[in-house]
Amino acid sequence: MEAEAPQHWGARPVGDGRWSVAIWSPDATEAAVIVGDGAPQAMAKGADGTFRAEIAAEADTPYRLAIDGQTLPDPASRRQRDTVHGPSLLTLPRRVQDGWTGRPWCEAVISEIHIGTFTTEGTFAAAARRLPDLVALGINTVEVMPIAQFAGNRGWGYDGVLPHAVHPAYGTPGDFADFVTAAHGLGMSVILDVVYNHFGPEGAYLGGVTPAFFDANRTTPWGPAIDFTQGPVREFFIANAIMWIAEFGVDGLRLDAVHQLQDPSTPEFLKALSQRLRALDLHRPLHLIAEDERNLPDHRDDGVTDAQWNDDYHHSLHCLLTGEDEGYYAPFAVDPMADLAVALTEGHVAQGTPRNDRADTRGAPSGHLPPEAFVNANQTHDQIGNRALGERLIALAGPEAMRVAHGLLLTAPFVPMLFQGEEIGARTPFPFFCDFEGDLADIVRKGRLEEFSAFGGFGGDLPDPMALSTFTDARPYDTPPDDADDWRALTRRLLDWRRSHVVPLLHSGQTGADVWIIGPRALRVCWRFETGDLNCVVQLGQAVPPDLWGGDATGLRLGAPEDNFAFCTWIETR
């Protein structure tokens, strides 16, 4: 059981209707807690720079903090009465106890979902009611985009400012706990996306009252960098991770942009976080997935993380199918088929050596990692939403090509991830949206226009990120495509085959992989395992000789060798 760390943040119940309240603010001279409409109650400053006080109040009572005369919500608030600017509410911890024992990571088939657009209602309760539709197709894991409270009602979630509070537009903390319980009852794992590298632009009061929280010598693309060398700063985020895992019962975390979690300490923050989480008495597997543009295998080698989003796979496939070469696609547009071949056999494409005159030298060799160390996707919220119009790949490459890409993604040995609606062939866009007002709204609009200057092909109108319609038009299930049933059947067929044939191989362990490029737009792959070989032929715009196709009753085929877009996969047992 996790030992309770010294309190630097938030409000904890201590029994008999009393609460211990704390905030680390080493540069402040005085602090107080204001309960309801009462008078400020002074907080005592400790030698560690933490102000603490004990108060008497019922659960759900509003409270605020006052630091050197500035009144603010608790930065570690578990729940707000209304907006990110309003009072916090004294909130009792909870613990999901549903008997769930989890599942091995290598079996995961993920759907990335955004609670606000996953259903018309945009709530945890409504999302829970939709989960059986995913389970019926063979999807066994949901990765929930960030739910920490942010300014306004609408947003992707990466502008959160109260990491411990559930965004109220989605429901209460209890509603999220019920969502997790519902998923577990269906046999689904829940991964939660968390952002520990920055705060959003509105409602982040920490910079004003605790400047020591941030590194004065460094910034990120999204604002001030966080100083992880400070113990209370580490504890702020480690306590957050423990809350989601131990109290709400989520099965793992997707850690946003960990390359920005720069920390010279020993152990570094991410390793310390992993150690604390893995020391919990969970009785179920814990999964830690990183987004890390450095392409380094170290964290996975050392067991700090279990897997990493593999954007190299996406970029290679995207360039092959669309011909796009602007911005970050440029290095992958030189020879996308060769890059795809590397991604399918070694995981990352960028491995520390230059591939072409457009590529840098980031990364290190990754071919020794098991396939479950990579989360592959044909599209994610990033790759769709960071386009000017938010188009899905199916709108750019066409359904014929995407059926083959779908087959490859869902039957290859890597952990596959779909983006909400992809399993039904959704064409609805997922553009960037938020809910700011005034000058901040204008700054965001201007920033989005400047962002797309790197993509020379964009010349149309940009959807207004603040418009309600930009948000509502991103709901994939409100307007399913005419061929949705065909896509459901395809997804179910592919995942049935994966469960029956690929998963047993994964449990036996991979021993190697070979790839043959058999034309400008076709390749064959063989992944070798202890108990057999997994083979596939992928045709993304080119027919191949029939003798290249293998398999018998155990094989799965989409189309035929003479088709430009076709796919075949089969097992050769030992």
Which CATH topology does 9-89 take?
A: Immunoglobulin-like (2.60.40)
Per-residue model confidence as pLDDT tens digits over 22-70? 999 999 999 999 999 999 999 999 999 999 999 999 999 999 999 999 9
Q: 467, 437 in Cβ contact below 8 A?
A: no
Query: Is 98 labelled a binding residue?
Result: no
Out of 74, 215, 268, 291, pick the active-site residue: 291
Q: How is residue 169 annotated by DSSP? A: T
| Distance of alpha carbon 361 from alpha carbon 323, whole angstroms | 23
Q: How far is CA 24 from the centre of its chain?
A: 29
Query: Is 159 labelled a binding residue?
Result: no
Query: Is 283 labelled a binding residue?
Result: no
In the residue annotation, 247 being an active-site residue is answered as no
**520-526: average pLDDT:** 97
What local confidence, expressed as pLDDT, does residue 134 receive? 98
Per-residue model confidence as pLDDT tens digits over 407-461? 999 999 999 999 999 999 999 999 999 999 999 999 999 888 887 765 545 556 7
SS3 280: coil
Look over the chain and give the mean of its residue pLDDT values, rounded to a whole number.
95
Q: Do the first three CATH levels of 9-89 and 509-573 match, i.e. the same topology?
A: yes
Per-residue model confidence as pLDDT tens digits over 162-184? 999 999 999 999 999 999 999 99
| Distance of alpha carbon 317 from alpha carbon 321, whole angstroms | 6
Q: 515, 523 in Cβ contact below 8 A?
A: yes
Out of 202, 235, 256, 533, pick the active-site residue: 256
Residue 309 CA: distances (Å) to CA of 282, 347, 391, 414: 25, 10, 20, 11
Q: 557, 567 in Cβ contact below 8 A?
A: yes
DSSP H or E stretch at residue 385: helix 381-385
Q: 570, 551 in Cβ contact below 8 A?
A: yes
Of the pLDDT bands very low, low, confident and very high (cuts 50, 70, 90), residue 1 is very low
Which CATH topology does 509-573 take?
A: Immunoglobulin-like (2.60.40)
Q: Which residues pair with 44 in a beta bridge?
A: 52
Q: How far is CA 278 from the centre of its chain?
A: 20
**474-484: average pLDDT:** 97
Query: Is 501 labelled a binding residue?
Result: no
Q: 357, 335 in Cβ contact below 8 A?
A: no
Query: Is 313 labelled a binding residue?
Result: yes
Percent of the chain with pLDDT over 90: 91
Report residue 123 as tokens: 């709530």
In the residue annotation, 256 being an active-site residue is answered as yes
Per-residue model confidence as pLDDT tens digits over 90-118? 999 988 888 999 999 999 999 999 999 99
Q: How far is CA 143 from the centre of its chain?
A: 6
What local confidence, expressed as pLDDT, does residue 455 receive? 56
Tracing tokens 């993604």 back to the chain, one arrives at 409
CA-CA-CA-CA torsion sign (433, 434, 435, 441):
negative
| Distance of alpha carbon 48 from alpha carbon 17, whole angstroms | 27
Query: Is 259 labelled a binding residue?
Result: yes
SS3 15: strand
| Distance of alpha carbon 113 from alpha carbon 143, whole angstroms | 6
| Phi–psi pair at 216, nearest 5 degrees | -65, -15
What local confidence, expressed as pLDDT, does residue 460 receive? 61
| Distance of alpha carbon 418 from alpha carbon 380, whole angstroms | 7
Query: Is 252 labelled a binding residue?
Result: no
SS3 443: helix
Given its phi and psi angles, is residue 16 left (phi above 0), alpha (psi -120 to 50 degrees) or beta?
A: left
Q: Taking the domains of the chain in order of start, what are their residue ranges?
A: 9-89, 509-573
Query: Is 258 labelled a binding residue?
Result: yes
Q: Is the pLDDT of residue 523 over 80?
A: yes
What is the 3-state secondary structure of 61-125?
CEEEEEECCEEECCCCCCCECCCCCCCEECCCCCCCCCCCCCCCHHHCCEEEECHHHHCCCCCHH
SS3 332: helix
Query: Is 315 labelled a binding residue?
Result: yes
Per-residue model confidence as pLDDT tens digits over 204-258? 999 999 999 999 999 998 889 999 999 999 999 999 999 999 999 999 999 999 9
Tracing tokens 């996790």 back to the chain, one arrives at 2
